[in-house]
Amino acid sequence: MNETLERWSSRRAFILAVTGAAVGLGNIWRFPYITGENGGAAFLLLYVAFVLLLGLPVMMAEILIGRAGRRSPMQSLSHLATQAGHSRHWRWLGLFGAFTVFCILSFYSVVSGWSIEFLVSSINGDFVGQDAASIGAGFDAFLADPARMTFNHTLFLVMTMLVVAAGVTKGLERLNNMLMPLLYLLLLVLAGHAATTSGFGPALAWLFTPDLSAMTPMVMIHAMGHAFFTLAVGACALMAYGAYMPDHQSLPRAAAGVAVLDVTVALLAGIAIFSVVFAQGMDPAEGPGLMFVTLPVAFADLPFGAFWLSLFFLLLLLATWTSSINLAEPMVATLQGWGLGRGQAAAVVGVTVWLVGLLSVLSFSTLADVHVLFGMNVFELVTTVPPEIFLPVGGALIAVFAAWVLPEVEALRALDAGPTGFRVWRTTVRWVSIPLTLVVLISGLI
Ligand code: PHE
Ligand code: NA
């Protein structure tokens, strides 16, 4: 990467790019099913607390490092560390992050492929007149068909790697600009409509009346991991975007805006989905298929429901597309740093992710009962360990770097929030975010 990178065209473009990375399957697919598996309100409360205490401050730390270094993550880390008289081995943190997002992309692409399948089905009107049980049966049949799933996984990954090969700033910015608001609007309508259904009351009660005894160390680990995952924090992926952030833009304000948007998207999706769950007497702990079997039902009541459902899956795909681009970027940047051309790097990453993704595809058929670690099959493993262990570990190290290693003048300038804002941020990171992450990690592992 060049010494002097081009900046994002405007402050708004930077926020939209980070939003594009943040809003994705994490909000609409993962949030509802993890919340469902962890009992609802207690999980939700912890998740919001972790977004505020960990996700947000560490997000600022991560972007701040990129902004101070103005290079690719590995180069920024090594440059800033040596300048401050610390070891250039800090750069391996960038590689660890790239490995983390690599693992994440391997299942992200597969699940995005499920969205492609549902987009096509909804355009065909396949869900018209179907109830949750028959949609669920159709979904199970799809999961049991590795060929169809592989096709969609391949298609999605090709779409992603083509954009990545073309470079960061092109297309991406404009795409985000246009489409995020529409997805948000559609979710608002859906949640608004849910308020008129019989499942709405029970869904709200289930989501917002926490039972404190349900806050076990495992629930805390899941909630913490999801806070990092949903904000795209902990893998140095946002660090890469920080390098393009314009001068004179308050980082806390930008990050807070993204977090608010990200959390509200998840909440709206959760309200819409759990209203269906309770109206239909379904199990909230349905698992990874939850979004897919509930949303067709949610849309079915609306006038022109099939049309809105198709539009929804289209927009969801675009949201996961921008997230995937962000997931692929660190690996590609790393390979570029090792001398490969951008197109070559994108091809290498694409093929490798595709191969590893096949293991996730097969986790619903041939490899369903092959437990690689902790009694989990490959899909369960990659959807759990990288988001819930690797991201928090990476995030804690990023936080240590920004709040302890980086010279104060550099951090102060890159945060761009004045001396008081800086003190508040650094105190939070030093004495809340870092210790809390470690405590939750350790108690969960024990
Ligand atoms: N934040 C994205 C989502 O919620 C996932 C992601 C994680 C993207 C890590 C980039 C890095 O869908
Ligand atoms: Na998200």
Q: What is the SS3 assignment for 76-95?
A: HHHHHHHHCCCCHHHHHHHH
Q: Is the pLDDT of residue 425 over 60?
A: yes
pLDDT in tens, 331-347: 998 898 899 999 999 99
Residues 6+ apart with CB under 8 A from 408: none
Residue nearest to atom 9 of ligand 1 (CA): 232
Mutate to test the pocket of ligand 1, among 47, 327, 329, 332 (most ligand atoms within 8 A of CB): 327
- Tell me how far the alpha carbon of residue 184 lies from the centroid of ligand 2, in angstroms: 13
Q: Could you give the C-alpha distances from 88 to 83, 94, 238, in angstroms and in order?
A: 9, 11, 20
pLDDT band at 89 (very low <50, low <70, confident <90, very high): very high
> How does residue 7 score in pLDDT terms, banded at 50, 70 and 90?
low
Q: What is the pLDDT of residue 11?
A: 78
CB 41 within 8 A of CB 211: yes
Percentage of the chain surpassing pLDDT 70?
A: 96
The domain ranges of the chain are: 11-445
Q: CB-based burial of residue 376 (10 Å sphere; 0-12 exposed, 13-18 middle, 19+ buried)?
A: middle
Q: Which ligand is nearest to the CA of 229?
A: 1
String of b and e for 16-43 (b: at least 16 CB within 10 Å)?
bbbbbbbbbbbbbbbbbbbbbbbbbbbb
Q: What is the pLDDT of residues 114-153, one digit of tens each?
A: 999 999 999 999 998 888 899 999 999 999 999 999 999 9
This prediction's pTM: 0.95
Ligand 2 centroid to Cα of residue 369, in Å, is 30
Cα 43 to ligand 2 centre (Å):
16
The Cα–Cα gap between 273 and 269 comes to 6
CATH topology of domain 11-445: Amino acid/polyamine transporter I (1.20.1740)
Average pLDDT, rounded, for the chain: 93
